Structure formats: C-alpha cells, structure tokens
Structure 1
Amino acid sequence: MDVLIAGAGPTGLTLAIELQRRGVTHRIVEAAPEPFQGSRGKGLQPRTLEVLDDLGVLDRFLAGGADYPMLRIHRPDGQELDWSMAERRDPTPDVPHPNSWMVPQWRTGELLAARLEELGGKIEYGVGVTALDGTTATLSTGETVTARYVVGADGGRSTIRRAIGVGFEGETFETQTMLIADVRLTGLSRDVWHMWPGPDGRTPLLGLCPLPGTDLWQLTAPAEQSPEKIVAEVAPQVTLTDVGWTSQFRANMRMVDHYRVGNVFLAGDAAHVHSPAGGQGLNTGIQDAYNLGWKLATGNDALLDTYESERLPVAAAVLGISTRLHNKQGKEAAEQAMRRDDPALRQLSLNYRGGPLAIDHRPSPGAVQAGDRAPDAPLGEGVHIFDLLRGPHWTLLAFDAPAPAMPPGVHVVQVEDPDGHAHLSYDIQEPTLILVRPDNYIAAVTSNPADLLGFPFLS
C-alpha cells in the first residue's frame, strides 16, 4: 500500500480523491463510526470552489448550497438593520466563482465521499489509528498495517501528530467558548441570517443562520447556556422544534512547526486550527490535500519536501488572518459578524512565488507570475482554460509561440484566443510558454523552451 490516510473529513477525502484518480493505492480510515453530522465549517471560499471544479464535483456543490444571505441585526432598542456580509462580485473571465458559497460541512463530506466512491474508493468508518511507528500503524481493530506514506488528517487532537512529536504552537483561550448547534425552529424568515447583540450592542448573544437546501438553522450563542434557554431569553418569538448536532467551541489558534517528519505528513486541522472567523480552516485543509496529493503520487522525495515549504507559510498567513478577525471582538456586533472584504480571505491571491516550483525567466514579470494560481479564461466555442486544466495532469499553455515536445503526462495546448480574454487573464505581452502544475498553480513562465525541458519534477 502506498498511502494510509487517517481521517475522513474534507481534508482526508480530498486527498483520497486525488490519489484515487491517479491510481495510487491507499486506505482512508476514520475513527468515528459514521460521517460527521454537523454544519460546523459551512463557508467555501472561491479558491476552494476551483479545487472542487478540478475534482469534478463543483456542480453538486453549487446545487447543494447557496450564496451567503444578508445579515439582519436585531438591536436592543428594537430596530432591525440589514447588512451585506460582503461586497458581491460579478464573475469575470479570470475568476468565474468570485464569492463565498455556503454549504453545511456534513454535506461537503457527503459530496466528497460520494465522489471518492464513484471513482472506486472506500472509506473505513469506525477504524482509527491508535499507534504509529515510522509508517507502521496499529489500527483500533488490532490490525497492523505498513504504508510507504502516512498522512494525518485526523483533526486538532491528531494521533498522528502526537506520534511523530511535532509541536503545535499557539494559544487556546479557555474563557472564550461558544455553543454551535443545528436546530429546527419556527417564527423566523429564512431569507436572512439573524443576529441579536447584547445590551451593549457589541457582544453577540444569539445567531441563527438558515442552512441552504435544508430546514435546519445553525445556532451560535455563549457556551454557558442551552439552545432552548438562550432562544427563550433573547428571541421569544422563535420556537425551537428540534435540537440536533451540538458542539462547544473553544477559541483555539494553533499550527505545527513541521508538516513532514520522514514519510509522515500532516494536513488540515492536524496541522492548523483556526477561529471560525473568516471561514478559513476547512478551506485551508482542502488545499493542503490538493497540494500534497499529486506530490505523493510521484514518490519523489525532493518534491515531497516542497509540501512543507509551500504550505507551512500559507497556513501561517491564513491563521494570522483568522486570529486577527477573531480578536476584533470589541467592535459592533454587526461589524464583527460581517464577512470582511479582505481579498486574501477568498484565497485566490495565495501563491508560491519564489518557491522551488516557481520559475519565471522573463526580464519583466507581469501581473501573473510563476507560483500564482492559474486564472480561467474563455477561449471561444464554450471552452475555458479551466476545462483544459481539469484532471491530474500538467498542462503547457503556449501563447503565440510554438510548443516544444514535452514528456508524457503533459497536455500541450496551443492557445487559440479569438477574443483576447486569455491574454488579458495571463497578462501576455509577448510569445510566452506557461507550464501549469497538476494542482493548477503556475510552475514556469518563459519564452525559452529549454527552461521547460529542464524543469524539476516534471513527469
């Protein structure tokens, strides 16, 4: 067996899909007896939507979710204020999915699991890793298995992380706790996300967010009260008819000091845990897996080292954003509940510029550089750049230049761009060759074919 994945949340499932579609033998085990049932991480950022497009499941997510609703603030003085959670952006040729999308976490897991099974993969529920020695794991069933690689995607209390002795630096705020629950109710419009601040107008007392495609609401409130009690006290016009999944959230902002020890890797919450502010944690975990999957498939040790060098700085930056937003608890409740319009939250600007897999040999690099996300663009006749990138392969985009012969596994595209959208998206000013990695980041930008033939790890 090539890879053992511990944990079948969104991170582990994304990794398993990546391995399955590359024909890499693996097992994905999940200690819980059944799939996760809560709405917890309900926000998918634009870059994650692009990952889901590449995995072949975006249409299902769009059908199973919705745009973020308006936020309605029920003020202590009886006034109601409606706020937009973020500025709505129109799709553009280079960014077809510019806005966050709301999908309950249980549905994200359900859709990813269905895609894995559709590709021939299988999840083993009720099977956890209890001990790890190198890459030999002892499972809760008593079975001992040895894999070439082990990936810990087993959450903030990761058994894998503890087994390899990786530090988990940061802070846990024991006094900052929150109740999250999935409830059914009557007495409220589902057209908006309702929020009640306390008497000071600052401290949020109760939030009720309608979850798309369901009759459920996500309830958030101070942890010391029950859902029934807080609703009765704060919003007596609301009647709870059912309380389902419930969780106590403790403010916890931590990350690892290494993503890799030997042939053991960490991803998702096993590597970084966030405040829910800004909706970054689940998205960062999915993109950890998206970065790691194609590298594991190569078995190239030097390439696998780039997983840590690329993802650890990204996680540190994203954790800084979510922590910063969490700490803005002194502002008006309406302000702190709004989605901040920071472009970095959309994760489209995250990049690997200057890294070992980013070569840009132009004397004057343009706006789009090696290490950046590969933009989309329509090419005419219903074809888009993303259609050409979709799948587990490398792609060479040749703009106004003959494409050199490339190794097997590289799709070569002589770009035909009748309306000029691709030239604008990629900021092409002269004949240019652009090599795109399997995870749809730009590996190389050059006018010299020799730069591509000598590109490391190309296969």
Structure 2
Amino acid sequence: MNTTPLPDRTQVAVVGGGPTGLALAVTLASAGIDFVVLDKLAEGANTSRAAVVHARTLEVLEELGASEELISRGIQLTRFAARDGSRRLLTVPFDKLPTAYPYTLMVPQYETEGVLLDRLRTLGGDVHRPYEVASVVQDEDGVTLTMSTGQTLRAAYAVGADGMHSTVREAAGIGFSGSAYGESFVLADVVMDWTPGPREVSLTFATAGLTVVAPLPGGHYRVVATVDDAPATPDLAFIQRLLDERAPGQAKVTGRAWSSRFRVHHRVADHYRADRLFLAGDAAHVHSPAGGQGMNTGIQDGYALGQAFATGRLDGYEAQRRPVAQRVVAFTDRMTRMATTRNPMARGVRNIVLPLLGHTAMPKKLATELAELNYR
C-alpha cells in the first residue's frame, strides 16, 4: 500500500488508478503537469479481467514508454476466428495491419497496470491508496474532493477514471445513456486442452449464446461467455458443461485460476466534460466485451486527455474521444447481437454470409476496426 500523505492541492486530480487513470497520469507526468491519482483499493487488482491489448493501444503505450515491457509479458496473436461449434466461418487476420504492431497482444490486465505503474514511478509519480472519494464539488476556481475519511484535496480539474459507477460523473450531473444486456457474462481463466489451439482468439456462436476463448501467458485460456443466469463464481464443472454444449468435443478443462459473473451494459456518457470535471474510460463508456476493446479505448482516452491538458486544448477532448466510444459501442453491440441471436433464420443467414465475406475486403476491415487503427 502507498502511504504517501495526501497533498492539499494539485492541478489535476485523477480519480481511479486503473489502466485509464494510469495512462493519463503517465501522460501528465511526461508533460510536467502536477497531478494526484486517487484509488479506493488498498492495492491494485490481481485478477486478469481485460486481457486484450490492440495495436492502436500499443502505439499509445510506445509514446508513453511502456510498450516494450508489456509486449515481453504477453502472447502475440495474428488471427481472430469466428466459428459455429467446430466449423470455422471467418478468419480475421491482424498480420497485415498498417502498424508496427500487426497483432493482438494477450496479457492479463494486472500486467498492463503493473507496467504503467512502473513507468509512472520512473517519472516520479505514484497512486495514492486507499483514498475513496466521497464527494466532488466544483466552483468557478477549482474542484474540492472530499475523501471518506474527511480529508480534502483541492484541484484545478478533476477526472473521473473511476468506472461505470463513477462518483465524478454523478457529481458532474452527466447522463449515461444506454441499457443493459439481458444475459449475464461468465469470465474465467482456466487450464484446458483446447482443439483450436493457442495461436488464435476463437469466437464461437451457439444457440445457447456467445463464447470467446483466448490464450493467455502461462498456458491459461480466457473464457468469456453469455449465460442466461450464471452462478456468481462459476466452478470448473460449470465451465466444462458450458464448453461441451457450445464447442462439443473441443475442450477438456483441467484447472481454474479464477472466475466471475458480471452484467454488461452498453452506454456512453452524454458529455465528457462539465466545466472542470472530465470523464475517461469506463466512467465515459461501457460495452460488450466482444472484441476486447474496453480497456483499450480507456487507455487511449487517458492519453488523449493528458495531451489535451499538456497543450491547453481541453475543449477538443470530447469532440475527439466521444465519437470513438459511440463507434465502439455500436460495433460491439452489433457483434454481440449477431453472435447471440436465437432466431433460426438469422443464424442460418449469418452462417452462410460470413464464409462468403472471407473472400472480400471485410476481414481486413474488421481487423482494422478491432485494432482501433481507424481512431488515430
């Protein structure tokens, strides 16, 4: 735990020490702007949660001096396959992308946070923990943040990088338009024998729902699946039954590192700024995990906002980043609804059309969209 005393004032208060807040802090530190990062947890999370780092994010991390170390901790994959059961419908290739990083990097989120935190400390910064922000009040001259302990921090600006249930967004009075998916999502990291193997991300369609399987370092696989009503902590037997139903004969699960259940929303904040308060990451947008773009979009938000502070072009932040979130939310929603449809006619059309699209420019366009290279 960081026991550094909380200062009385700063230029930018960053609420949330996850990937978005850390990317913002590194950008501010590199620009010589005074900041304080606050996080309510006593230490960073050690579960893997987000596990995909796309090409555009790696370009941003290169600018922040963090890409090389993160790449050394992950697995580079060059294809994303869509299947119906064991039948391959479409392959999306990443190896021809116009970038220095023509692949998707599979690496647990705690590694991404760890690399960004190490970089921040190298630049002389850190995360103040555990400080839970209980209230945020702005006036003409600045923002007063009050902790649950009663301590206060005065800042010229405050940024909410504090997740879907953002205290900063609520204080700003900014709406969070959208809705929740009806299904719950299962998230698990397991050890298993997996027939498609460890060289690609597999998105499998089934009448019971969508399943994504992706390799992780250390011989683990990430499993993400839609389930009507999943248990809070899915056990090994539950995960095995799920894969038997959706990918028959392809998986033998032998171990579980951790698992969880969560509900997924697709929402975008009505604004990214209210005077001296700003939003970034999950505080500004949440969406389906299909495509693994959530953390990536957040890191890019943090970098863009940090640059806006550095250049004094704060008015341009919302115009630059909110359309990106709208595009990502719409794209992942289409992917999720296509994958989870239970309409027999729609499934039949999907399974006929996707293989045909494999012979067009569509796979490369999909790869570019997933990699977020259109958002530079």
Same fold (TM over 0.5): yes
Give the equivalent residue in structure 2 for 1:258: 271
Q: Do residues 170 (structure 1) and 181 (structure 2) align?
A: no
Provide Cα deviations, 1:168-208, integer angstroms capped at 9, x if missing partner. Answer: 001112x211110223456875455567765xxx4347554
Q: In structure 1, list runs of 5 or more residues that go unmatched.
A: 351-372, 374-459
Map of 1:359-398 to 2, 5 A cutoff? 373=376
Which residue identity lines up with residue 286 of structure 1 in the other structure? I
Map of 1:373-452 to 2, 5 A cutoff? 373=376
Give the equivalent residue in structure 1 for 2:344: none
Q: Do residues 9 (structure 1) and 18 (structure 2) align?
A: yes
Q: Do residues 111 (structure 1) and 115 (structure 2) align?
A: yes
Question: Residue 250 of structure 1: CA displacement?
Answer: 1.6
Give the equivalent residue in structure 2 for 1:48: 57
Q: Do residues 344 (structure 1) and 369 (structure 2) align?
A: yes
SS in structure 2 at match of 1:327: helix
Which residue identity lines up with residue 329 of structure 2 in the other structure? L
Give the equivalent residue in structure 1 for 2:147: 139
Question: Residue 294 of structure 1: CA displacement?
Answer: 2.2
Give the equivalent residue in structure 2 for 1:22: 31
- After TM superposition, the structure 1 stretch with the greater mean CA deviation from structure 2, 54-63 or 81-90, is 81-90
Question: Residue 142 of structure 1: CA displacement?
Answer: 2.4
Give the direction of change, closer, same or farther, for the CA distance of 1:194–1:98 in structure 2 (3 Å limit). Answer: closer
Give the equivalent residue in structure 1 for 2:315: 305
SS in structure 1 at match of 2:153: strand
How far apart are the structure 2 equivalents of 1:283 and 1:81?
29
Give the equivalent residue in structure 1 for 2:105: 101
Give the direction of change, closer, same or farther, for the CA distance of 1:278–1:177 in structure 2 (3 Å limit). Answer: same
Are the equivalent residues in 1 in contact too, given 2:236–2:255 (CA < 8 A)?
no
How far apart are the structure 1 equivalents of 2:115 and 2:281?
18
Q: Do residues 289 (structure 1) and 289 (structure 2) align?
A: no
How far apart are the structure 1 equivalents of 2:93 and 2:74?
19
Give the equivalent residue in structure 1 for 2:260: 247
How far apart are the structure 2 equivalents of 1:67 and 1:11?
22
Give the equivalent residue in structure 2 for 1:228: 236
Which residue identity lines up with residue 166 of structure 1 in the other structure? I
Which residue identity lines up with residue 3 of structure 1 in the other structure? V
Question: Residue 56 of structure 1: CA displacement?
Answer: 1.1
Are the equivalent residues in 2 in contact too, given 1:253–1:275 (CA < 8 A)?
yes
Give the equivalent residue in structure 2 for 1:209: 214
Map of 1:50-69 to 2, 5 A cutoff? 50-68=59-77
- After TM superposition, the structure 1 stretch with the greater mean CA deviation from structure 2, 221-230 or 186-195, is 186-195
Give the direction of change, closer, same or farther, for the CA distance of 1:46–1:230 in structure 2 (3 Å limit). Answer: same
Question: Residue 25 of structure 1: CA displacement?
Answer: 1.2
How far apart are the structure 2 equivalents of 1:132 and 1:114?
28
How far apart are the structure 1 equivalents of 2:371 and 2:210?
27
Which residue identity lines up with residue 296 of structure 1 in the other structure? F
Number of residues of Structure 1 aligned to a counterpart in Structure 2:
335
SS in structure 2 at match of 1:288: helix
How far apart are the structure 2 equivalents of 1:147 and 1:271?
21
Larger CA Rg, structure 1 vs 2: 1
Q: TM-score, length-normalised on structure 1?
A: 0.66
Which residue identity lines up with residue 348 of structure 1 in the other structure? L
How far apart are the structure 2 equivalents of 1:194 and 1:322?
16
Q: Do residues 179 (structure 1) and 186 (structure 2) align?
A: yes
Question: Residue 160 of structure 1: CA displacement?
Answer: 0.8
Are the equivalent residues in 2 in contact too, given 1:70–1:83 (CA < 8 A)?
no
Give the direction of change, closer, same or farther, for the CA distance of 1:21–1:194 in structure 2 (3 Å limit). Answer: closer
Q: In structure 2, list runs of 5 or more residues that go unmatched.
A: 1-9, 342-346
How far apart are the structure 2 equivalents of 1:307 and 1:327?
30
Which residue identity lines up with residue 337 of structure 2 in the other structure? N
Question: Residue 210 of structure 1: CA displacement?
Answer: 2.2
Given candidates 144, 155, 158, the residue that maps to 2:163 is 155
Question: Residue 280 of structure 1: CA displacement?
Answer: 2.1
How far apart are the structure 2 equivalents of 1:33 and 1:281?
24
Given candidates 48, 67, 81, the residue that maps to 1:39 is 48
Which residue identity lines up with residue 115 of structure 1 in the other structure? R
